A and B are shown apart, each in its own frame.
Chain A
Amino acid sequence: MRKKTNSAIRRWMYAMAYTAVSAVVLAGCGNGGNEPAAGDGKLTVTATTGMIADAAAEVGGEHAEVTGLMGSGVDPHLYKASQGDIKKLDNADIIFYNGLHLEGKMAEMFEKMEDKKPTVAVARDLPESALRTDPSGAHDPHIWFDVENWISATEVIRDTFIEKDPANEGDYRAQADAYIAELKKLDDYAAEQIASIPEASRVLVTAHDAFGYFGDAYGIKVMGLQGISTASEYGSKDVSALRDFLVQNQIKAVFVESSVPKKSIEAVIEGASKMGHEVAIGGELFSDALGKAGTSEGTYIGMVKHNVDTIVSALK
């Protein structure tokens, strides 16, 4: 009796093993893996965040087909790879990522990829002095909030394109120059607008510390409830300290972010209102991701403008 069931089990196991093996073989045939990227002579470019994809598309122009891994509104800390992302990385001629640990563990993979194809951190050329550094030695990865940093990132993107495709060097230089000119205008606009806020009210209160570079560049004090990491919880002391600060300095508005929940900041507003000081929600800022594609906030320049305008109109 036992023998009989044993052989039945064994047969079943063989069947399983057979299915598994044939599935693997089929998979191997199905995708081939090495299909030529973009047959029309365009470079296939894959970028991690929407901001980088936007800059790469501006510089690459008609010579590049750019795809982003992280969609609009996706917090890079919470990005989950899908099966299709493998192909986006496998087929790319050039890969751009932020660096400074924004992509977490993926960075180690990108370093490996460097041997096989141009895989470039756009923060590569930023000097140590331009970076915000934590006492523990870690860098703040949210470099795009200082437009000057983004100009450096654009230059890295431009040089990478030229190295990969020297035939079109002229086009890349022209497109990069045009984009950098716009970024410079944007930089001036941001500085000018923020400076128009009375100095005492120049305080930007948000839920998490993504705006450090913005504050440094444009002279606005930045206060966040939460640390950079979404794993660090805010303490009740943080809430009350922030509340007292708002009340004492008569700050008019605080801001919510597109990729961070509102709840934490609402506790502060409620606390201040109990102490007789009304704080408004000044609007939604884009922090770690761009807005929806097709809207003006769906581009880097549109996003920065939106943030600046929102801040200025609420605090002025």
Chain B
Amino acid sequence: MAKQQANWSPYDNNGGSCVAIAGADYCVIAADTRMSTGYNILTREYSKICKLADKCVMASSGFQADVKALQKQLAARHLIYQHQHNKQMSCPAMAQLLSNTLYYKRFFPYYSFNVLGGLDNEGKGCVFTYDAVGSYEKVGYSSQGSGSTLITPFLDNQLKSPSPLLLPVQDAVTPLVEAEAIDLVKTVFASASERDIYTGDKIEIVVVNATGIRREYMELRKD
């Protein structure tokens, strides 16, 4: 008897790419706004970015239904935290919560590839990058999604610090200014949308800094 194949998958990949870059006193989180399935586009204006706390923003690509469910879970848990502690969750705290929430579904995972960005308790930018089951790491920059294989090498070339094994220990955050980082993000998406069919339409860029959170958009190739 031949091995049984599934005639249906609970998952779908809606494509798209996400990027986040941490600076000394800011954090840039960006994602494209295209939602696809197979070779079709479902919509050109879907936001993959979600504000989880005052200074904490998450961008996720993958299966958007799972992403939405994950975002709702985290929002509810954050409310509970606020009731109990009388304050907002810090970005590192939210990072741990996200990791735990993802691992909770280790045996039926959220098909969600996340980058978490924001300011830590001292106001410094921080970025956390995840896999689908919650393994995470604090980094200076990260990219996830269908375009990540095109984006990551570019970011490595521009931002990568020398080996973390070297002494003196180098900070993961980039020395770039906010405006330069945003420019880099725009460049990186423009390049990715040239070759990745799932990335395009528009970029949504969210910047978190001491004054708060602001949002901007940039048009991309529609093909």
Q: Do A and B come from one complex?
A: no
Instruction: Report A's interface with B, CB cutoff 8 A.
Output: none
Instruction: Report B's interface with A, CB cutoff 8 A.
Output: none
